[in-house]
Amino acid sequence: MAIAFVFPGQGAQRVGMGADFLATDPVFRDRLEEANDALGFDLASIVLDGPASRLVETEVTQPALLTVGVALWQVWRARGGAMPAVMAGHSLGEYTAFTAAGSIAFADAVRLVNARGRFMQEAVPVGEGAMAAILGLDDDVVAGCCEQVEGVAQPANLNAPGQVVISGSAPAVKAAAAACSEAGARRAVMLDVSAPFHSELMRPAADRFEAVLDAVNLRAPDVPVVHNLDASMSADAGTIKQKLLRQIDAPVRWTDCVTTIRDRGVDRLIECGPGNVLAGLVRRIDRSLDVVGIGTPGGMESGLESTASE
């Protein structure tokens, strides 16, 4: 059996994530302490104790999720877990994947996504941008509805067949969501987010982030990582940087990413992070793929046992 590791993005966070591992596993504890040192503030206390209002701040959420994801990956390996054939991550999770794959040093990655989150939040004043989830329409129909409206509205997350998130200026996204409803969407729901992620309105964030990313040393990953941008895989550090940079203001093509993973002979995915958001998406994409979450001690043991028995 070939396995893949997948890492969740923003929205999967919750106060207390990883607390059970922190109490018992020194590998997990070391990563949180290293993140604190890299950032210069007590990320661990926010992760464990909140408040939730602080954890959901984008510049905190992103390093928090990356830290927990990398810590869980290292616990997996320390306990004899199998190496995957391929890795991928949803949005922010792509950075976690490249860090777990050895392409980015952990301390550099924590600082990178802290800056990425801050730049993304500052790119558009709060209230001027919006995102909406569209359920029950084909991707091209959603794109056509976005093209009908004035202003910026575009597909941002192509999450699964019949599940697309659109992003852009608030009036345009509301108008596009209404157009999707008229076109037969099962649901068109405005999301409670702080910025229009993965839209062209994030271009100022990408411009600011470029110099920060250029200053970090990247190397070829030990395990292939699927890019959100185009579902390809790169071994060249310069190409990896360019695709990570372009990811900020381009759609996350998660359906294509999962298809690429499947086409490499993978039949089991390990969701390495809190919750099971990606498991739900994967099942909508291809129900033949098995997904195991290792964000809890019980899940970790189940994942280790299920892969060891193959």
Name the residues annotated as catalytic.
91, 198
What HEC string does the chain produce?
CEEEEEECCCCCCCCCCCHHHHHHCHHHHHHHHHHHHHHCCCHHHHHHHCCHHHHCCHHHHHHHHHHHHHHHHHHHHHCCCCCCCEEEECCHHHHHHHHHCCCCCHHHHHHHHHHHHHHHHHHCCCCCEEEEEEECCCHHHHHHHHHHCCCCEEEEEEEECCEEEEEEEHHHHHHHHHHHHHCCCCEEEECCCCCCCCCHHHHHHHHHHHHHHHCCCCCCCCCCEECCCCCCECCCHHHHHHHHHHHCCCCECHHHHHHHHHHCCEEEEEECCCCCHHHHHHHHHCCCCEEEECCCHHHHHHHHHHHHCC
